[in-house]
Amino acid sequence: MRRYPRSRRLFDQACRRLPGGVSSPVRAFRSVGSPDSLEPGSGHPLFITRGKGSRIWDADGNRYLDYVLSWGPLILGHAHPDVVRAVAAAARKGTSYGAPTEVELELAAFVQRAMPSMERLRFVNSGTEATMSALRLARAYTKRDLILKFDGCYHGHADGLLVKAGSGATTLGVPDSPGVPAATAHLTLQAPYNNLAHVDALFAQHGPKIAAVIVEPVAANMGVVLPAEGFLSGLRALTQRHGALLIFDEVITGFRVGFGGAQELYGVRPDLTCLGKIIGGGLPVGAYGGRKEIMELIAPAGPVYQAGTLSGNPLAMHAGLATLRRLRSAGFYTALERRAARLYNGLIEAAREAGVPIQPARVGSVLGLFFTDRPVTDYASAKSADTRKFAAYFWAMLEAGVYVAPSQFEALFVSGAHTVADIDRTITAAAGAFRRAARVD
Ligand code: HOZ
């Protein structure tokens, strides 16, 4: 069995300096225990020293096929030469000016070509900043205070969005974070994902007060849950009828499920869109944008204040631009789709052979699987999945050299750097991991 002594040592040191030893909670392996005990909290994360293409290396020199990909941004894989070249060239000219640059324009134009609904957009530094700012804007535009979010969707860690939040908040059992003032939480209405009737009822009750509905068009922070037929178009119709804005959080799906994101894939045009991850090519970036008349309320064009010292940072802009250019190259998404489908089908077959029930989901290169025999359509059904089976699967995958997110409530991402051989190796590893999971009761 693999051991990770240097990572363990580093983690012990980190715990004396950083809360929980990490800079973001989902990294901590808290819920999956350790290789020899699936007791939550008994393990430690791996410290990563480098990445190249589809692979990463840990502090003990172990190599892994990486399906976390920094939680989604690295659609080209690690250290893609185009991105490295662009960042290095930009850095030689200075890392930040706090002034407008031409590259912001170029990246904005690329994003707008992909998502024409973003008639105007503002660059920020993270997905959290994007969603937080979009909500402020929606409230200012509609002159209403309530927002509606879906249970298990995660839109970053702004106060009003840490209500039944997915991702690490769910993994660690704190979907409603302490520290969020009750007065703020009360401004957030909640509905089960995929439940239009519930949304309809909330609009019937609170309609004139609801500023916006915010949704992950493909939920990818409670595991991967696909939008039911008619769900997104239903939200579009309901928001329009009641004068509320529809905000698509495409931080994960943007440029991931296709060049035009989920809005193109499902043919629904939101009022506002939030982006992050891929548009920064692995550097910290977010963006929000939408209809001109709404966006023109943002300062200095309008009175809604939002600012940032490093917003539109040139290194991040260049990394994003290099990434999006590569995504535009002929056949990129077709090849990615083929690899992701091969992995998806291979995982399903491997689980079937191992006799372990799973609920798989996939849109493009975003995949998820739940250890349950019941269909997963929302947060409640996602949470009923077996976390101990997942933990056994997780450690077996790691042992076999495959790095997946240490939580069932996260997604798995395929990059353009994953080869067919990588995929087939992963399926072989998963066959063993599923057999291990099957033995857990
Ligand atoms: N959306 C990411 C996880 N689902 C964020 C990663 C993090 O929280 O560190």
3-43 tens-digit pLDDT = 899 999 999 999 999 999 999 999 999 989 888 788 888 88
CA 410 to ligand 1: nearest atom: 4
What's the rounded Cα separation, in Å, for the pair 137 and 131? 10
Residues with C-beta less than 6 Å from any ligand 1 atom: 24, 26, 71, 154, 167-168, 221, 410
CA 252 to ligand 1: nearest atom: 1
* Residue 104 reports pLDDT greater than 80: yes
- Catalytic residue among 66, 249, 386, 422, which? 249
What's the rounded Cα separation, in Å, for the pair 441 and 355? 13
Q: Are 419 and 353 in contact (CB under 8 A)?
A: no
Q: Where are the domains of the chain?
A: 5-78+330-438, 81-327
97 included as an active-site residue? no
Confidence (pLDDT) at 381: 97
What's the rounded Cα separation, in Å, for the pair 281 and 76? 8
What's the rounded Cα separation, in Å, for the pair 193 and 378? 5
Task: Please give the CATH topology (third level) of the domain spanning 5-78+330-438.
Answer: Aspartate Aminotransferase, domain 1 (3.90.1150)
Q: Are 46 and 34 in contact (CB under 8 A)?
A: no
176 included as an active-site residue? no
- Report the pLDDT averaged over residues 77-94: 98
249 included as an active-site residue? yes
In CATH, the number for domain 81-327 is 3.40.640.10
Q: Tokens 């959290």 appear where?
A: 128
* Residue 1 reports pLDDT greater than 80: no
Confidence (pLDDT) at 289: 98
116-138 tens-digit pLDDT = 999 999 999 999 999 999 999 99
324-382 tens-digit pLDDT = 999 999 999 999 999 999 999 999 999 999 999 999 999 999 999 999 999 999 999 99
Q: How confident is the model at residue 163 (pLDDT cuts 50, 70, 90)?
A: confident
